[in-house]
Amino acid sequence: MWPDFVHTSTMSKSALVKVILLGDGGVGKSSLMNRYVANKFDSHLFHTIGVEFLNKELEVDGQQVTLQIWDTAGQERFRSLRTPFYRGSDCCLLTFSLDDGQSFRNLANWKKEFAYYADVKDPDNFPFVVLGNKVDVADRQVSAEDAQRWCRDNGGCPYFETSAKDATNVASAFEEAVRRILALDDRADHLIHTDMVDLKKKKEPQSPSCC
């Protein structure tokens, strides 16, 4: 996948990129999105049903980006409601909770599920970013070394220890995701600096709150 380009209100060119948060229920996907986009944290969130998304405008290395963040339901019973939204993702944020070893061991299943439904032929060359969330908690069950080893064994994807609660590394993780996307596609750099661009229309959201 490569970024679409949209006109912003100032008529500068902005890359439209889609990232998707996957991981077990309760690891903090919605909280990470809310922290990053709205800078808020709620300790009593409901489980996500299906998918939701939010947009954020940002600048990364001088490039204007419209980042579309898709938050998915981690609970198994909502599987059929989330998988149709995997296609078209430019980056997948595989998320686990540092105080939940099972959510870490499930990363391989999330990667597999994403690759299947997003139709990614070569998952080890797709831009995954791994987030170990809730780094603020005391009873940690997953070591940084184990998480880093998993990332090395899975195409060398970047690893961030985040806290949606106190905002540790949240912006850095999303910005790294954008960097990976932009770096992957050398055509993006060409298009950004060329006036003869066939600008695509901004993608319409696919009824995200309906399911």
Ligand X SMILES: Nc1nc2c(ncn2[C@@H]2O[C@H](COP(=O)(O)OP(=O)(O)OP(=O)(O)O)[C@@H](O)[C@H]2O)c(=O)[nH]1
When the beta carbons of 4 and 100 are compared against ligand X, the nearer one is 100
Least gap, CB of 3 to ligand X (angstroms): 26
- Least Å distance, CB 16 to ligand X, is 24
Which residue's CB is nearer to ligand X, number 70 or number 150? 70
Which residues, 6+ apart, have CB-to-CB distance to 104 below 8 Å?
96, 97, 132, 141, 142, 146, 147, 150
Nearer to ligand X among residue 10 and residue 43 (C-beta): 43
Give the nearer residue to ligand X in terms of CB position, either 28 or 127.
28
Cβ-based nearer residue to ligand X, 47 or 200: 47
Give dist(CA 164, CA 33) in Å, integer.
8
First CA to last CA across the chain, in angstroms?
A: 25
C-beta of 96: minimal distance to ligand X in Å?
Answer: 10
Q: Measured from the CB of residue 116, what is the shortest distance to ligand X in angstroms?
A: 19
Q: Summarize as ranges the residues that interact with ligand X (CB under 6 A).
A: 23, 25-31, 43, 45, 47-48, 73-75, 133-134, 136-137, 163-165
Q: CB of 164: closest distance to ligand X in angstroms? A: 4
CA distance 172 to 20: 16
Task: Tell me how far apart the alpha carbons of residues 10 and 131 are, in angstroms, rounded to a whole number.
Answer: 34
When the beta carbons of 138 and 196 are compared against ligand X, the nearer one is: 138
Q: Are strands 51-60 and 13-22 parallel, antiparallel or unpaired?
A: unpaired
**Residue 181 is encoded by which pair of tokens?**
């996307």
Residue 90 CB, nearest approach to ligand X (Å): 21
Looking up tokens 């709150």, which residue turns up? Answer: 209
Query: Mapping DSSP to helix (H, G, I), strand (E, B) and coil, where does residue 210 land?
Result: helix
The pairing of beta strand 63-72 with beta strand 51-60: antiparallel
